[in-house]
Amino acid sequence: MTASRVDLDSEQMGRDLVALVLTVVELLRQLMERQALRRIDQGDLTDGQIDEIGTTLMLLDQRMTELCEQHGVRPEDLNLDLGPLGTLLPRV
Protein backbone atom coordinates (compact mmCIF):
# COMPACT_ATOMS: atom_id res chain seq x y z
CA MET A 1 0.00 0.00 0.00
CA THR A 2 1.43 3.35 -0.97
CA ALA A 3 0.95 6.43 1.08
CA SER A 4 -0.59 9.29 -0.82
CA ARG A 5 0.64 12.75 -0.17
CA VAL A 6 -1.65 15.73 -0.05
CA ASP A 7 -0.13 19.10 -0.80
CA LEU A 8 -1.91 21.76 1.16
CA ASP A 9 -1.55 25.45 0.57
CA SER A 10 -1.34 26.77 4.11
CA GLU A 11 -1.94 30.35 2.98
CA GLN A 12 -5.15 29.38 1.17
CA MET A 13 -6.25 27.29 4.15
CA GLY A 14 -5.73 30.32 6.39
CA ARG A 15 -7.84 32.53 4.10
CA ASP A 16 -10.54 29.88 3.95
CA LEU A 17 -10.59 29.61 7.74
CA VAL A 18 -10.83 33.39 8.11
CA ALA A 19 -13.67 33.43 5.55
CA LEU A 20 -15.50 30.70 7.48
CA VAL A 21 -15.13 32.51 10.82
CA LEU A 22 -16.23 35.82 9.29
CA THR A 23 -19.21 34.06 7.67
CA VAL A 24 -20.35 32.80 11.08
CA VAL A 25 -19.87 36.26 12.59
CA GLU A 26 -21.84 37.83 9.71
CA LEU A 27 -24.64 35.31 10.19
CA LEU A 28 -24.82 36.17 13.90
CA ARG A 29 -24.73 39.91 13.11
CA GLN A 30 -27.65 39.53 10.71
CA LEU A 31 -29.62 37.49 13.23
CA MET A 32 -29.00 40.09 15.96
CA GLU A 33 -30.09 42.85 13.58
CA ARG A 34 -33.33 41.05 12.73
CA GLN A 35 -34.05 40.39 16.40
CA ALA A 36 -33.43 44.05 17.22
CA LEU A 37 -35.80 45.15 14.45
CA ARG A 38 -38.49 42.79 15.75
CA ARG A 39 -38.09 44.16 19.27
CA ILE A 40 -38.23 47.74 17.99
CA ASP A 41 -41.39 46.95 16.01
CA GLN A 42 -42.95 45.40 19.13
CA GLY A 43 -42.08 48.47 21.19
CA ASP A 44 -39.98 46.44 23.66
CA LEU A 45 -37.03 48.85 23.68
CA THR A 46 -36.45 52.31 25.04
CA ASP A 47 -35.06 55.07 22.83
CA GLY A 48 -31.71 54.70 24.59
CA GLN A 49 -31.62 50.97 23.94
CA ILE A 50 -32.49 51.52 20.28
CA ASP A 51 -29.64 54.04 19.95
CA GLU A 52 -27.21 51.67 21.67
CA ILE A 53 -28.19 48.72 19.47
CA GLY A 54 -27.93 50.86 16.34
CA THR A 55 -24.47 52.08 17.31
CA THR A 56 -23.30 48.56 18.19
CA LEU A 57 -24.54 47.11 14.90
CA MET A 58 -22.91 49.94 12.91
CA LEU A 59 -19.58 49.41 14.69
CA LEU A 60 -19.77 45.65 14.11
CA ASP A 61 -20.48 46.22 10.42
CA GLN A 62 -17.49 48.58 10.17
CA ARG A 63 -15.25 46.07 11.95
CA MET A 64 -16.41 43.29 9.63
CA THR A 65 -15.49 45.47 6.64
CA GLU A 66 -12.06 46.14 8.14
CA LEU A 67 -11.45 42.44 8.82
CA CYS A 68 -12.48 41.49 5.30
CA GLU A 69 -10.09 44.06 3.84
CA GLN A 70 -7.29 43.04 6.21
CA HIS A 71 -7.56 39.36 5.22
CA GLY A 72 -8.34 39.83 1.54
CA VAL A 73 -11.87 38.45 1.82
CA ARG A 74 -14.65 40.02 -0.21
CA PRO A 75 -18.06 40.43 1.44
CA GLU A 76 -19.58 38.20 -1.26
CA ASP A 77 -17.18 35.45 -0.13
CA LEU A 78 -18.94 35.41 3.24
CA ASN A 79 -21.51 32.83 2.36
CA LEU A 80 -21.74 29.07 2.15
CA ASP A 81 -23.44 27.20 -0.64
CA LEU A 82 -25.72 24.67 1.01
CA GLY A 83 -26.56 22.93 -2.25
CA PRO A 84 -30.28 22.41 -2.75
CA LEU A 85 -31.03 24.50 0.35
CA GLY A 86 -29.49 27.59 -1.22
CA THR A 87 -26.99 29.81 0.54
CA LEU A 88 -26.45 30.31 4.25
CA LEU A 89 -26.78 34.08 4.19
CA PRO A 90 -29.76 35.68 2.48
CA ARG A 91 -29.04 38.00 -0.40
CA VAL A 92 -29.58 41.59 0.63
Q: What's the mean pLDDT in 40-68?
A: 92
Cα 34 from Cα 38, distance rounded (Å): 6
Residue that wins the pLDDT comparison between 12 and 17 = 17
Q: Is the pLDDT of residue 4 over 90?
A: no
pTM for the model stands at 0.72
pLDDT in tens, 57-75: 999 989 989 999 998 888 7
DSSP line for 14-28: HHHHHHHHHHHHHHH
CB atoms inside a 10 Å sphere around CB 56:
13
pLDDT at 7 over 80: no
